Structure 1
Amino acid sequence: MAEAANAQDLYSGTKEVAESHQFDETKLAAWMEANVEGYEGPLVVRQFKGGQSNPTYQLVTPKKKYVMRRKPPGTLLPSAHAVDREFRIINALYPLGYPVARPYGLCMDEEVVGTIFYVMDMVEGRILWDGTLPDSTPAERRAIYEAKVKTFADLHNVDWKKAGLEGFGKEGDYIARQIHRWTKQYKASETMHIPEMEQLIEWLPKNIPPGETTTIVHGDYRLDNMVLHPTESKVIAVLDWELSTLGDPIADFSYHLMNWVMPPGDSARGSIMAIDDLKAWGIPTMEEYVAMYCAHTGRKGLPELDYYFAYNAFRLAGILQGIIGRVRAGTANSANAESNAARVVPLAKFAAEYARRAGMPG
């Protein structure tokens, strides 16, 4: 558990703004004065430690705290870091009562801080980085996991057309488009030849399970992308909507399920795979968690999970390869980004293993 505790320390809280992410704070203060209801300076800017993709800042004023998310500076991959899309989805969900931070404004004028950005409320609560929840009781762990899965199901149950999200993504063929997207990113950032990735690039698009539906998808739903109530087992804000779009809810949910099947050594953020007796620990088994999700969404079951696990590991390998490319280009935000390089090959092998279970020739 020591590594996970270190992860909590490493990613939690704020720091001085990194030199590469500094900007003219007087311009931001002037924009806040003109665009954020109730804003009163003076303004102090801090940078959050976590979140390596879009630089995220805490904006502190005498009466209130805000959060700013911005595109990173430098040369970026096409369609990456779409903070304008993040703002749109938060702006659509907030009026529905879905747990997101209150959005205050989007600025498309790059003259203010150097890149486009948006400002939202600072939701005070707990962000936990260790999925084993070592500081909680078994009953608390169970309640947190139940809150997580219900909040996720609630997202997939949102009527996205009524929420005003027409055009936020394409209807249908989500898996095919995602495979194409991450294949393209992987190739654009490729640093070595990985045979399993080549085999997956060939097999995955030809074997997509039928029956795909379309809902809002988060794209990276996990414990450390949400704020829990300070004392209750309740999700009060879901964060980091950069990858959100319209797509296949099972792809989205099965990515979250990777926590139950990923090797413990894949990440330093606490793996529930390292726990021998989930029941005694208070954490639902994968089968129980799937049953909870199905109960909340009216599904009878989730077949084809082996394919989805293969797809999600492949997608994650593509995402991490993109981060490696940004490290190489000098535009990655997090100090730990380089360690992602060691994860790509094991993820490719993991994906290939599940793809073979789903029928890929071995």
Structure 2
Amino acid sequence: MSSADIVGVDAGAVSRWLETLGVDFAGPLTFDRIGLGQSNLTYLVRDQDGRRWVLRRPPLGRLLASAHDVAREARILTALEGTAVPTPRVLGLTADPAVTDVPLLLMEFVDGQVVDTMPIAQSLTPERRRAIGMSLPRTLAKIHAVDLEATGLTGLASHKPYAQRQLKRWTGQWEKSRTRELPALEDLTRRLVAAVPEQCELTLVHGDFHLRNVITSCDSGEVTAALDWELSTLGDPLADMGSLLAYWPEPGEEETGGDFAASVLDGFPDRAELAQVYLTETDRDPAALKFWHVLGLWKVAVIGEGVMRRAIDEPKNKSATGTPTVERIDALVDNACRIADEAGI
């Protein structure tokens, strides 16, 4: 593949950068887009001897301020080396204009299985699906147990109450990226603002933890690497668990999963089981988790609208699996309202 064929990467300049990092490779390198490609763009880099690395860069086109910060992602991944949290190792970060017009992050390649399409999920045995599902809340518990002082992450983000920060941030993102009026979402925003539970602790928060953002062992199904840390921050740990539940449709809710409703397949644990594993590991508040589940659905809807807007603004940001639809975003909001009703929010 020639450098002219690679959207977003100058192959020659990146090859020269790898040489300055002391990365041993047999050129020429090849670059292939991997993953969904709806946020930061990710490339599998291979050399002529079969060695592999992963390269990340922000998406093309107009970006919202503070979004898609690969330098921040690199800082977090570096800080987590040596902790119990499974992550890929950072090999290099550059914003050198001789190499790239945006920051580039080079990471080690972690072998394993990424369950990011329905055919992959359908190919798994029910036993493997269950093992993967049950590993997710246990991995979150490891992330939330990270010692902020020891890792140097105490200054990563504000220590102010996290729910208010999230509601302010994502309401702002909605205003900047929405493509239409959506009164149901605006009403849900008001309900969430009025129902914020007291925050009892401050931990590392992944910010976008779900099935597609982890690598799992081909043998055991255990999570071997948590990926996509660009939204990571400090806050209420229950936010991550709420987001995981928001990305976990159950039978009858397939539409909220869009093109990827893997969790409805036989073998995957249901939301109650996921929540119980996490709450048993961490002894956190089940009632507060319900609030964060609703906020998680609300946030997924806002993010979906942003992805849809970016695809409209710059068609090259579209991935092969497509982008969220108006129908899916509306279904997410409807589901969030139903769960909020059940939780008394």
Could you tell me the TM-score, scaled by structure 2's length?
Answer: 0.89
Contact in 2 for aligned 1:45/1:57 (Cα 8 Å): yes
Distance 1:19 1:196, change over 3 A: farther
- SS of alignment partner, residue 167 of structure 2: helix
Structure 2 equivalent of residue 272 of structure 1: 263
- Give the Å deviation of 1:269: 1.3
| 1:82 alignment partner, one of 69, 83, 88 | 69
The CA distance in 2 between the partners of 1:114 and 1:175, in whole Å, is: 35
The CA distance in 2 between the partners of 1:94 and 1:17, in whole Å, is: 32
Q: What residue ranges of structure 2 are gaps of 5+ in the alignment?
A: none
- SS of alignment partner, residue 92 of structure 2: strand
The answer to whether the aligner puts 1:352 opposite 2:342 as a matched pair is no
- Give the Å deviation of 1:40: 4.7
Distance 1:217 1:54, change over 3 A: same
- Give the Å deviation of 1:128: 1.1
Structure 2 equivalent of residue 153 of structure 1: 141
Structure 1 equivalent of residue 312 of structure 2: 328
Contact in 1 for aligned 2:54/2:107 (Cα 8 Å): yes
The CA distance in 2 between the partners of 1:181 and 1:88, in whole Å, is: 22
- Give the Å deviation of 1:251: 1.1
The amino acid that maps onto 1:304 is: A
Contact in 2 for aligned 1:140/1:233 (Cα 8 Å): yes
Mean CA deviation greater in 253-262 or 80-89 = 253-262
- SS of alignment partner, residue 304 of structure 1: helix
Q: How does 1:151-230 map to 2 (within 5 A)?
A: 151-230=139-218
| 1:287 alignment partner, one of 268, 272, 288 | 272
The CA distance in 1 between the partners of 2:4 and 2:207, in whole Å, is: 27
Q: How does 1:1-362 map to 2 (within 5 A)?
A: 21-63=7-49, 64-129=51-116, 133-258=121-246, 259-260=248-249, 263-266=253-256, 267-273=258-264, 281-297=266-282, 299=283, 301-330=285-314, 332-360=317-345
User: Could you give the per-residue CA deviations for residues 11-59 of structure 1, whole angstroms, max 9, x where no partner exists?
Assistant: xxxx998968243211111111002443453322222152311111111
- Give the Å deviation of 1:165: 0.8
User: Could you give the per-residue CA deviations for residues 165-192 of structure 1, whole angstroms, max 9, x where no partner exists?
Assistant: 1221112311111111111111112222
Could you tell me the TM-score, scaled by structure 1's length?
Answer: 0.85
Q: What residue ranges of structure 1 are gaps of 5+ in the alignment?
A: 1-14, 276-280
- Give the Å deviation of 1:143: 2.2
- SS of alignment partner, residue 198 of structure 1: helix
Distance 1:183 1:302, change over 3 A: same
Mean CA deviation greater in 194-203 or 324-333 = 324-333
The CA distance in 2 between the partners of 1:197 and 1:215, in whole Å, is: 28
Contact in 2 for aligned 1:99/1:235 (Cα 8 Å): yes
Structure 2 equivalent of residue 11 of structure 1: none
The CA distance in 2 between the partners of 1:270 and 1:21, in whole Å, is: 29
- Give the Å deviation of 1:116: 0.7
Contact in 1 for aligned 2:307/2:324 (Cα 8 Å): no
Distance 1:172 1:16, change over 3 A: farther
CA RMSD of aligned residues (A): 2.5
- Give the Å deviation of 1:342: 2.9
Structure 2 equivalent of residue 4 of structure 1: none
The CA distance in 2 between the partners of 1:18 and 1:182, in whole Å, is: 37
Contact in 1 for aligned 2:32/2:45 (Cα 8 Å): yes
- Give the Å deviation of 1:252: 0.7
The CA distance in 2 between the partners of 1:176 and 1:103, in whole Å, is: 32
Mean CA deviation greater in 127-136 or 111-120 = 127-136
- SS of alignment partner, residue 303 of structure 1: helix
The CA distance in 1 between the partners of 2:81 and 2:325, in whole Å, is: 33
